[in-house]
Structure 1
């Protein structure tokens, strides 16, 4: 009896061991291919140079101001208004100027009356002198009085003309067609003569204004080629060239203003649009440029992960110039190679990836 119980226990233990062994078997875990950011390598002459952000400006921008002082009583334009030659943009109160004109007009009448009297007296004393009734000295006095009266008329007439001109200056008139790009004064404000109140961008050429740091001025000045793109027009790229470089740095930003003329400006550009200017290599040499984040350093050797048939492999490279988040690759890459540009530290040789 005891022998049979022992045999039964052994059989049960064997069955349990076999069951636990079956339960301990696990399926191998399949590793998901990581998703990576990639970039196709392209030979580019612009890769190592910076792109400068700028805006579309008019080549001819005029600061308009009144030629006389006074209180603004009317503003006829707003920001962005399109104006034509002869349009009245602003007006100032001209009551005081009109009174000055009236005073000048009265002075002209008075001087003209004095001139008429002097002319009559001169004619009378000439006849008396011819008859020998008066001396030459008396005739000279009346001739001199006539000259003084004539000069007084000229002076009063000039003052009257000046006053009428100032009366006309009380209206600010557009001298050319364009767009109002700035308003610096409002109705009710008292302005002095020569103080800018409006900015008018004349119709015509459009340019790109960028700010360049002092260590890049020579590079921009000697640039052989510039490519201008627009944030609002993603499919438009035009060529440009430097027209003007400011000789003095801005007091706040310590950068130099540079004006870029567009060779063939697109029809869709408007004033104030955001533009990006890429400066071509002055040497004109093509090169391969990749982001710094794509470089994987092993010891003293720089490498990149190259993707071929969804599999990554480490390839050593030889680097050149650094700048603006990019590095020049002198050897190791060819035009058309696809490389990983982000997450290079998490990859291993021969690993499958998703692009």
Structure 2
């Protein structure tokens, strides 16, 4: 073996040691390299997702509204004078008859006013008596020629003024007497007290509603509906009313009145539903549910709620499977139904396949393996 030129100046024995060390290092390096683990091979796993084929069914639309049992006729009573309430004779639910005194306000000031006008009536009557006596005397003097006609006319005019003064004072006295009667709040019709908005000691003003009395007679349910349901409600053929406190009791309803004006706060319209032959167990103030059936059957698509994908975007969406990949598509949802389903108004067609489980683990364009049944 021919040695390299640089090794000619190195003793042969040392040169053998150098080559031996190099050989040992090579052997150890190969051994260590073989012991290192090899990187795993990249395997693209295709997840299996649970899917379903969209179908539709012809069903009749059905809308429900919450309401409250009310009376057909309700009287909202108020005092006709200002004052402080000193007596309250009724409670919520009290049965009253026409003429019953419900509340009373302090009448001290009104009594003083009545006394004042009573004194004015007495004064006016005294003035009338004096004027009548003077008129009789001066009539005799006129007949005897002792006074002129102009003097007599002055006393006749004073008598007429006294007569008018009595009428004026009497009218003021009657008005003050009416004010005294107005300090008593009376029921105008028989019924049941359904609301009281004032207590003893409270100062109220004239015209402020204090007591609501539901008159005996018909019972109704009041509901509020949005403006886009008014025309459909007018055309409905069947209205069913159920009651939260009476699960086994139902009654048929009929639209009696739809408010022509929307509520300024809720922007909904008040609707009164008359109850046809209501059972006696129905009481005022009960919570009622009014179910309104649609006039025609329409195709409806319902999907599981778990299929709806919605994160930061307020628009709901679903994963549509086509060609082994998933695509996110926006949808418009409607009412929630039984069995954790939601109605889809727009965005899906019959026959399309959607993912119904694990929707938050997928990404746009991801390949999937499908499984599942039709909806």
TM-score, structure 2 normalization: 0.66
**Residue number in structure 1 paired with 2:132:** 119
CA distance in 2, matches of 1:259, 1:102: 49
* Match 2:189 to one of 176, 182, 193: 176
Offset at residue 101 of structure 1 (A) = 0.7
State the secondary structure of the residue aligned to 1:251. Answer: coil
Instruction: Verify: 1:325 aligned to 2:323, yes or no.
Output: no
Instruction: Verify: 1:54 aligned to 2:67, yes or no.
Output: yes
Offset at residue 43 of structure 1 (A) = 8.7
**Residue number in structure 2 paired with 1:75:** 88
Cα deviation digits, residues 200-239 of structure 1 (max 9, x gap) = 1111111111010111111112222211111222222222
Cα deviation digits, residues 166-212 of structure 1 (max 9, x gap) = 11111111111111111111111111111111121111111111010
Runs (5+) with no aligned partner, structure 1: 1-41, 302-320, 333-343, 350-355
* Match 1:228 to one of 233, 241, 257: 241
Summarize the Cα distance change of 1:190–1:294 in structure 2 as closer, same or farther, 3 Å threshold. closer
Instruction: Verify: 1:92 aligned to 2:92, yes or no.
Output: no
CA distance in 2, matches of 1:268, 1:222: 30
CA distance in 2, matches of 1:263, 1:94: 46
Offset at residue 160 of structure 1 (A) = 0.7
State the secondary structure of the residue aligned to 1:325. Answer: strand
- 1:282-321 aligned within 5 A: 284-285=295-296, 292-293=303-304
Instruction: Verify: 1:163 aligned to 2:142, yes or no.
Output: no
* Match 1:151 to one of 156, 160, 164: 164
CA contact 2:101–2:187 (8 Å) conserved in 1: yes
**Residue number in structure 1 paired with 2:285:** 272
* Match 2:209 to one of 171, 185, 196: 196
Cα deviation digits, residues 295-353 of structure 1 (max 9, x gap) = 9999689xxxxxxxxxxxxxxxxxxx98423569xxx9xxxxxxxxxxx869967xxxx
CA contact 1:177–1:202 (8 Å) conserved in 2: yes
- 1:196-275 aligned within 5 A: 196-275=209-288
Any runs of at least 4 consecutive aligned residues in structure 1 with deviations exceeding 4 A, and if so which? Answer: 42-45, 286-292, 294-301, 344-349
State the secondary structure of the residue aligned to 1:324. Answer: strand
CA contact 2:63–2:293 (8 Å) conserved in 1: no
How many residues were matched structurally?
Answer: 275
Cα deviation digits, residues 244-269 of structure 1 (max 9, x gap) = 11222222222111111112212111
CA distance in 1, matches of 2:135, 2:76: 54
CA distance in 1, matches of 2:299, 2:253: 23
State the secondary structure of the residue aligned to 1:238. Answer: strand
CA distance in 2, matches of 1:322, 1:66: 52
CA distance in 1, matches of 2:122, 2:321: 98
Summarize the Cα distance change of 1:212–1:135 in structure 2 as closer, same or farther, 3 Å threshold. same
CA distance in 1, matches of 2:221, 2:268: 15
CA distance in 1, matches of 2:118, 2:267: 55
**Residue number in structure 1 paired with 2:148:** 135
Q: CA RMSD in A?
A: 3.1
**Residue number in structure 2 paired with 1:187:** 200
TM-score, structure 1 normalization: 0.69
State the secondary structure of the residue aligned to 2:277. Answer: coil
